[in-house]
Structures are given as C-alpha cells and as structure tokens.
Structure 1
Amino acid sequence: MDKENLNIGDIVTGKVNEDLESAFTGTVEKVYENSALVTITDFDAVDKANVSELNNKIVVNLKQLKAAKTK
C-alpha cells in the first residue's frame, strides 16, 4: 500500500509472519515513512495470546497492508 493512499482511521488488513500466524484487520493510528501503527480489531483465535501481548497494536510495513473490503 502506498503512503499517499493511507490515512489515519483507515481500516486495513495485513499479515505479519513474525508476530501473528494469520491475517488481521485493524485501524491505522499513525503513518510512518515505510510503515504504519495499526490497532488490531479482528484476528484469528490462534493469535489471541500474541495480540494480547502486543496490546492490540502492531507496526506493519506498508507493503504488507491492504485496504479492507467494506461491506
């Protein structure tokens, strides 16, 4: 995802193999040069302990984020 297309409050999906086993959905809290701070709002049950350990927040490389499909 391009930095220019990402705004605070956007809903995104992402996958971070280092910290979480499955993909997650979250809200962008802050945009950095090559990454974004995301508050995790929806995730797979297998990642519950890891999400809790991360305090429901994660910094993700912009290349690993996509805009979430809206219903």
Structure 2
Amino acid sequence: MTLSKTSAKIGLAVTAPATENMQAPFTGQIEKIYENAALLKITSYDPSDELNVKALHDKIIVSLKQLKKAK
C-alpha cells in the first residue's frame, strides 16, 4: 500500500523503489513531509548505491506515491 499525506508520519520507516538517483530499491526514514513527497534519510541500500548515497549525503526526496511502509 502506498502512502498518502495523512498516513505519512515523521520517523516512519519506508521502502522506496529505484529512482533516477538510486539504482536499486532502498529503505529510509521520513524526516520531512511535503505536499506530494517526503524527505528521507536513507538507512539501508544496495552496496552498488554506496557512491550515490554519499553524493546525496544520505538524503533523498521521493514522491509519496512511490513509498510503502517498511515491514
């Protein structure tokens, strides 16, 4: 189930698919919620994305429609 603005909460752990900045799906924690997106602190990722995560300083903005609550 994808997140909506009402179900997205700061601190919630979420999973996100590969994006233009990340080659593989990853897990993050919501730090800020925008109108249709959320700022995530990347907490778990594929080793192939290590340079991408460093370049992003462990932060990425992802559309709420792409996020799912982590298990």
- So what's the TM-score if we normalise by structure 1? 0.94
Query: What is the deviation of 1:15?
Result: 1.5
Output the aligned Cα RMSD.
0.7
How far off is 1:27 after superposition?
0.5
Q: What is the percent sequence identity of the aligned residues?
A: 48
Tell me the distance in 1 between the aligned counterparts of 2:34 and 2:52: 23
Counterpart Cα distance in 2 of 1:22 and 1:16: 4
Structure 1 position 16, deviation (Å): 3.8
TM-score (norm 2): 0.94
In the alignment, structure 2 segments of 5+ residues that lack a partner are: none
Contact 1:26 1:38 in 2 (8 A): yes
Which deviates more, 31-40 or 17-26?
17-26
The DSSP-based 3-state class of the residue aligned with 2:10 is coil
Higher normalized helix content (fraction of residues): 1
Match of 2:61 among 51, 55, 59: 59
Q: What runs of 5+ residues in structure 1 fail to find an aligned partner?
A: none
